[in-house]
């Protein structure tokens, strides 16, 4: 690990004209994206490698980021997908026995810019009041404040943007590794196909532990190609962007529903399943991004503390008669889960796999396992 941090004067400009000056680190470049805030107190490595943050700039509300460095095991994908990071205090010298590089080194490897010494409490208050804002993060040597605001305003935003096919795997592969630290190889034998719209590694680990080997396919893989694999279940992954433009996925899901193949969706996958069933989605004001969100199971009334990361949601009022609401957010009453009453299909808006966050609602993987095992008997 490097001994000293190389920083540079940097600027964060919002589309509303707000300007923040700070110390840049990571890659010395200009980038734009939708600015969101994440309230997690741990797990910054998992957060920045989550593909669902494509075209977003992440503001961490936790004041210290970088303390535990970066290791080889906690990445949720092979790359940093966020456009940039905004933090209050950057720890340039991490202290953790698993760390083998600093956050700054990782950012430079991945060519991602970050800015520190920002009043993230003030910034978060702006985002809560006005909603997620398009923003520009840049070295001061490359842009003036006025130019940075223009770049922020020029960013088109995530509404209408299909990013699932951008981050999706290009080549099909098989995953058979279980959860850390055991990482046991899959022992069950119920083949499931997972559509990669931006899938996280810990989702694959949990699926593998519950159903066996997982064949991961590109977001645009056809219904016919998937059926050649003789799956006993379909998993619809998390991912970035607006679900509505993903018509290729919605059309596929409708075909799987028609043949009663078990389906489990998470995050973007939840939204796509709802759209395939006839519901509608909408862009949220500032979304849910954090690891401390209470969600209630509407049948049992049990409350779970969950990990969340989404800027779009399913409109509960548009659910057709054969789809029931299963979970709801206790923060804002937005829909968190659905279940088909006439099909073996269900989904959850939050992240039961956590990484980072609480593991209370990982029971949903067990539910999918039961569906797959029942289907395998037919």
Cβ-contact 76, 104 below 8 angstroms: no
Q: How many CA atoms lie within 13 A of 195 on its CB side?
A: 35
Q: Which long-range contacts (CB under 8 A, 24 or more apart) does 337-343 make?
A: 337/270, 337/295, 337/297, 338/270, 338/273, 338/274, 338/277, 338/279, 338/314, 340/257, 340/277, 343/257, 343/260, 343/263
List Cβ neighbours of 234 (8 Å cut-off, separation of 6 or more). Answer: 192, 193, 194, 195, 226, 253, 256, 261, 262, 263, 264
Separation of alpha carbons 48 and 54, rounded Å: 10
Is 267 a known active-site residue?
yes
| Tokens of residue 203, six digits | 């989702």
How far is the first Cα of the chain from the last one, in angstroms, to the nearest whole number? 55
Separation of alpha carbons 115 and 138, rounded Å: 9
The one catalytic residue in 270, 293, 310, 351 is 351
List Cβ neighbours of 19 (8 Å cut-off, separation of 6 or more). Answer: 11, 12, 13, 145, 148, 149
Is 270 a known active-site residue?
no
The one catalytic residue in 46, 190, 267, 327 is 267
Comparing C-alpha atoms, which of 282, 367, 268 is closest to residue 316?
282
Is 351 a known active-site residue?
yes
Q: Using alpha carbons, list the distances in angstroms from residue 260 to 20, 199, 253.
A: 52, 23, 11
Q: Are strands 323-329 and 281-297 parallel, antiparallel or unpaired?
A: antiparallel
Cβ-contact 196, 169 below 8 angstroms: yes
For the chain, the residue count is: 378
Residues with a known catalytic role: 267, 351, 353
């Amino acid at each position: 690990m490097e001994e000293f941090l190389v920083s540079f004067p940097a600027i964060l400009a919002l589309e509303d004209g707000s300007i923040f000056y700070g110390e840049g680190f990571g890659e010395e470049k200009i980038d734009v994206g939708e600015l969101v805030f994440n309230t997690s107190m741990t797990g910054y490595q998992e957060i920045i490698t989550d593909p669902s943050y494509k075209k977003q700039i992440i503001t961490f509300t936790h004041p210290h980021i970088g303390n535990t460095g970066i290791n080889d095991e906690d990445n949720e994908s092979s790359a940093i997908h966020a456009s940039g990071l905004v933090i209050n205090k950057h720890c340039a010298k991490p202290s953790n026995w698993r760390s083998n590089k600093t956050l700054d080194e990782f950012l430079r490897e991945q060519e991602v810019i970050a800015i520190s010494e920002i009043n993230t409490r003030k910034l978060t208050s702006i985002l809560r009041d006005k909603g997620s804002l398009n923003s520009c993060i840049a070295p001061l040597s490359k842009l003036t404040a006025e130019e940075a605001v223009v770049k922020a305003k020029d960013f088109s935003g995530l509404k209408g943007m299909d990013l699932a096919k951008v981050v999706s795997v290009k080549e099909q592969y098989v995953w058979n590794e279980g959860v850390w630290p055991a990482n046991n190889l899959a022992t069950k034998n119920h083949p499931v196909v997972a559509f990669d719209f931006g899938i996280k590694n810990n989702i694959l680990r949990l699926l593998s532990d519950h159903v066996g080997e997982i064949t991961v396919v590109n977001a645009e893989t056809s219904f016919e190609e998937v059926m050649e694999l003789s799956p006993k279940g379909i998993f619809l992954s998390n991912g970035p962007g607006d679900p509505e433009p993903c018509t290729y996925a919605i059309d596929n899901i409708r075909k799987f529903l028609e043949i009663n193949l078990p389906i489990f969706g998470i995050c973007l996958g939840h939204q796509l399943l709802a759209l395939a069933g006839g519901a509608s989605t909408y862009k949220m004001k500032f979304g849910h991004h954090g690891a401390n969100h209470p969600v209630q199971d509407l049948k049992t009334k049990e409350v779970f503390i969950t990990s969340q990361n989404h800027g779009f949601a399913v409109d509960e009022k548009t659910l057709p008669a054969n789809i029931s609401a299963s979970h709801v957010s206790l923060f804002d009453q937005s829909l968190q889960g659905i279940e088909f009453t006439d099909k073996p299909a269900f989904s959850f808006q939050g992240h039961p796999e956590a990484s980072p966050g609480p593991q209370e609602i990982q029971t949903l993987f067990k539910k999918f396992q039961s569906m797959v095992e029942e289907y395998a008997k037919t």
